[in-house]
A and B are shown apart, each in its own frame.
Chain A
Amino acid sequence: MTLTKAEMAECLFDELGLNKREAKELVELFFDEIREALAEGEDVKLSGFGNFTLREKSQRPGRNPKTGEEIPISARRVVTFRPGQKLKSRVEAYAGAEQ
């Protein structure tokens, strides 16, 4: 089972009484907004859930796994997600349920 935008919109429709179009639009905008902030070089901190932070990676040596040829991996900016304490402990509890 996987949670997707469609189910998230459905949830806003069921729980908040937004109409289907509004719900779909809001889910879309929610992720757009996070993406835009990150694209503009801002970190995004969602308390209780987690933080999306940007990290600068410097150039490092890489290899084409098919040909074995060495090619440098260029310097880049990447997004990392650090789950918040609340989410971490909720997810940890899942391990107990599985074993």
Chain B
Amino acid sequence: MQDRPTVTKSELIENLSRKQPHLAYKDVELAVKTLLEEMSNALSGGQRIEIRGFGSFSLHYRPPRVGRNPKTGESVALPGKYVPHFKPGKQLRECVNESEAS
């Protein structure tokens, strides 16, 4: 694992706020939190998210399986479940890969 520079939610809010000086910082902060909440709500309600040029989020089904408690070796029946999945869009794939070449 290499250490990459990281942008956190609060840094993202700061960057957006700098680019939208006519909006109050608090509003940008609330907007970002509202958007993420909206996206989480959509996925947890079984809805897809499609953002052109960025990518799409959907749910993938994981069938039931028998797992094992690693401590005791005991078998446990694990029910089927859904997991969030992200598929990057064409534009995102291209601009991320181009940056690597340069």
Contact = CB atoms under 8 A, between A and B. Distances in A.
B93 A83 contact: no
Given A11-B38, A26-B23, A54-B4, A5 B97 contact: no
Given A26-B16, A33-B16, A92-B82, A41 B49 contact: no
Interface string B5-40: 111110010011001100100011011101110111
A4 B79 CA distance: 31
Contact of A90 (B40, B57, B99): B40
Given A41-B4, A41-B5, A27 B35 contact: yes
B23 to A, nearest CB: 7
Contacts of B57: 81
A87 B39 CA distance: 10
Interface residues of A, number: 60
Interface residues of B, number: 58
Contacts of A93: 44
Contacts of A48: 36, 40
Nearest to B6: A43
Given A26-B20, A47-B9, A79-B88, A34 B54 contact: yes
A3 B92 CA distance: 19
A46 to B, nearest CB: 5
Given A2-B50, A43-B6, A77 B100 contact: yes
A26 B29 CA distance: 11
Contact of B43 (A26, A39, A47, A91): A91
23 contacts: A1-B47, A2-B47, A3-B38, A4-B49, A4-B51, A16-B30, A18-B23, A26-B31, A29-B19, A33-B15, A35-B54, A38-B96, A45-B8, A46-B8, A46-B36, A77-B97, A78-B88, A81-B84, A83-B84, A87-B43, A87-B44, A90-B44, A95-B82
